[in-house]
Amino acid sequence: MKKIFVTGGAGYIGSHVVKALGERGLEVLTYDNLSTGHAEAVLHGQLVTGDLADRALLRKTLSEYHPDAVIHFAAHIEVAESVANPLKYYRNNTLNALNLWEVLRELRLSNVIFSSTAAVYGIPQDNPVTEETALAPINPYGASKMMSERLLADLAAAEKGFDYVALRYFNVAGADPQGRIGQKYRNATHLITRALKTAKGEYDRLQIFGTDYATPDGICIRDYIHVDDLAAAHLAALDHLAGGCGSDIFNCGYGHGYSVREVVDVARRVTGVDFCVEEAPRRAGDPPALVADSGRLRAATGWKPRHDDLEFIVRTAWEWERQLA
């Protein structure tokens, strides 16, 4: 596979995958409406500014480019916003994904990698979470991604030769170690980014939601994966499809977690700032722990993480935040 079409490639995760594709020497075309992405984050290939809802432009672009594979990132990602405005999420995350799947079918294009999420699991009873864990999303964001996965699975079952890989991300963090790209959201919601912006003085305090969970320190535990390791998982998924291995679903995480308090301690150590932390009541729907079993991804593709170190993850994110300042 030499020609890759990437939706949402100007966003945080998408831009890191575009970087990895370009560094491998692949030809890349990014399709992004730039609603949350940034044109300067696309380090390789061409950029077409377009929306997945614009079916005519989408079909024209795909028809002319005729990629060997499609990687689909373009989506809204804020859980709280999805609860407040669910139709926005179903329209963009599910209906626009359906738009893309239909155009791919019309043009007889195959080999899709879909950016999914651990939010499809909701509040799992057991950790680490495997791909066989029941899907029970508790918010429209997770539900919209689950629906898109189901559409892909049904299409693959109906269309011989149409193969896909869905990658279920756990907590993605960090930035390009060379400082070229990183998280640049207008409204930071991710814990590590929020903590670092608090250290910079953009927020007066960082809130910890819930201190009475059944975990070692009473605080929620999450599995944090460096964005470059996640990008490498996408390349591994491409190789999986190119090798004729068929459709599959893989969890993307390290297989162990850190509590919010542990992340705060590392953020304080990396930044040298003893920023203010405020304990607050639990948020509805927060699972006590969410840790990935990524054994299937490792066994099927040979993927091996290179940055499984929380301090490295936080340090790369901090260096990026300092550049933004």
Q: Using CA atoms, how far apart are residues 311 and 18, in angstroms rounded to an integer?
A: 25
For residue 141, indicate whether it is catalytic.
Answer: yes
Q: Using CA atoms, how far apart are residues 11 and 32, in angstroms rounded to an integer?
A: 8
**How deeply is 207 buried, as exposed, middle or buried, from its count of CB atoms within 10 A (0-12, 13-18, 19+)?**
middle
Contact assessment for residue 33 and residue 17, using Cβ atoms and an 8 Å cutoff: no
Kindly calculate the radius of gyration of the chain based on its CA atoms and give it in whole angstroms: 19
Q: Which helix (H) or strand (E) holds 252?
A: strand 248-252
Q: Using CA atoms, how far apart are residues 35 and 175, in angstroms rounded to an integer?
A: 20
What is the three-state SS of 102-165?
A: HHHHHCCCCCEEEEEEHHHHCCCCCCCECCCCCCCCCCHHHHHHHHHHHHHHHHHHHCCCCCEE
Q: Which helix (H) or strand (E) holds 196?
A: helix 191-200
Contact assessment for residue 113 and residue 230, using Cβ atoms and an 8 Å cutoff: no
List, in sequence order, every residue forming a beta bridge with 222; answer none if it has no partner.
Answer: 258, 290
Q: Which of 12, 89, 90, 141 is catalytic?
A: 141
Query: CB neighbours of 286 closer than 8 A, spacing ≥ 6?
Result: 209, 210, 220
Residue carrying the six token digits 């011989």? 160
Alpha carbon separation from 1 to 31, 238, 321 (Å, rounded):
18, 8, 35
Which residues are tagged catalytic? 141
